[in-house]
């Protein structure tokens, strides 16, 4: 199979997931073989305090398509994703959680949509989370959509592919990963949400709590709504800037 030259980098944030790191490469094998893209995996160690980093280094040393970066201390999921996008050098970037509650094979479904969209995000079907987690997520998604009107039902789904240039133009803040659709739409870009599978967590420990999954996102939603309301749109009718012959590619 001929692979497209404009590859894709899948960013995988990791925080204290030592028991599950060995599952990552086998889970990606079939997707990598079937993808139309040259797929790279970028493991981002978010200041783990267990043996995650040593296991990440061993995997990266053995596989050319696997790289890693490591934070000095824990900085949070949004920072890990953003750093991964910044260090990637492909036209497209993706994101999945290391707990593999979503299926890497579903990236094929997302790939099918990117010729027409700048962000393709999953919507978890039959979620295998606790009742409290599902209820708080449902409320947070309803509140976010009612305020931002991004048309997405599951903004926090940890399975996405987006154009890297679009991702890097987003303002960075703690918790930004929950607002990728709205931050894409602000740029005048196109977003679509498609259903993906969801599995129970089998390794590691959930980082869920009421503050990081409900109260904090509500505050962020209000802040982002303010920013959208204050957005200034302009159109340049004429200019005298000359275009250089050496065009800059994404």
Helices (H), the chain: 21-34, 52-62, 77-87, 107-111, 131-148, 164-168, 180-186, 210, 216-229
129 domain-assigned: yes
Cα dist from 16 to 2, 34, 80, 186, whole Å: 37, 30, 13, 34
Q: How many domains does the chain have?
A: 1
247 domain-assigned: no
139 domain-assigned: yes
157: CATH: 3.90.550.10
Strand order in 37-45's β-sheet? 66-70, 37-45, 4-14, 92-96, 159-163, 119-124, 191-196
210 domain-assigned: yes
Q: What is the three-class DSSP state of 151?
A: coil
Residues of the chain with pLDDT under 70: 1-5, 127-137, 139-146, 203-219, 221-234, 243-250
245 domain-assigned: no
236 domain-assigned: no
How much is the pLDDT for 213? 58
Please give the model's pTM, rounded to 2 decimal places.
Answer: 0.79
- Structural domain of 53: 4-229
How much is the pLDDT for 12? 98
The answer to whether 90 touches 106, Cβ cutoff 8 Å, is no
Most distant CA pair in the chain, distance: 59
The answer to whether 150 touches 191, Cβ cutoff 8 Å, is yes
How much is the pLDDT for 224? 63
Structure tokens at 164: 């890297």
How much is the pLDDT for 205? 63
């Amino acid at each position: 199979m001929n692979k497209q030259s404009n590859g894709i980098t899948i960013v995988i944030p990791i925080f204290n997931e030592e028991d599950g790191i060995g599952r990552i490469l086998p889970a990606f094998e079939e997707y990598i073989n079937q993808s139309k893209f040259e797929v790279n995996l970028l493991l981002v160690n978010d200041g783990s305090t267990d043996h995650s980093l040593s296991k990440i280094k061993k995997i990266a040393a053995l596989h050319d398509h696997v790289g890693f970066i490591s934070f000095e201390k824990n900085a949070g999921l949004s920072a890990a994703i953003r750093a991964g996008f910044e260090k990637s050098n492909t036209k497209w970037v993706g994101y999945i959680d290391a707990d593999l509650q979503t299926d890497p094979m579903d990236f094929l479904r997302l790939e099918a949509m990117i010729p027409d969209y700048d962000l393709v995000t999953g919507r978890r079907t039959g979620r295998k989370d606790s009742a409290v987690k599902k209820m708080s997520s449902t409320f947070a998604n309803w509140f976010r959509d009612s305020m931002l009107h991004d048309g997405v039902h599951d903004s926090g789904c940890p399975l996405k592919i987006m154009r890297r240039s679009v991702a890097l133009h987003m303002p960075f803040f703690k918790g930004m990963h929950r607002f990728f659709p709205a931050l894409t739409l602000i740029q005048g870009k196109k977003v679509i949400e498609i259903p993906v599978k969801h599995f129970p967590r089998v390794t590691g420990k959930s980082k869920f709590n009421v503050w990081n999954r409900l109260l904090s996102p509500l505050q962020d939603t209000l802040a982002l709504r303010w920013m959208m309301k204050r957005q200034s749109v302009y159109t340049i009718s004429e200019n005298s800037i000359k275009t250089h012959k050496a065009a800059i590619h994404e």
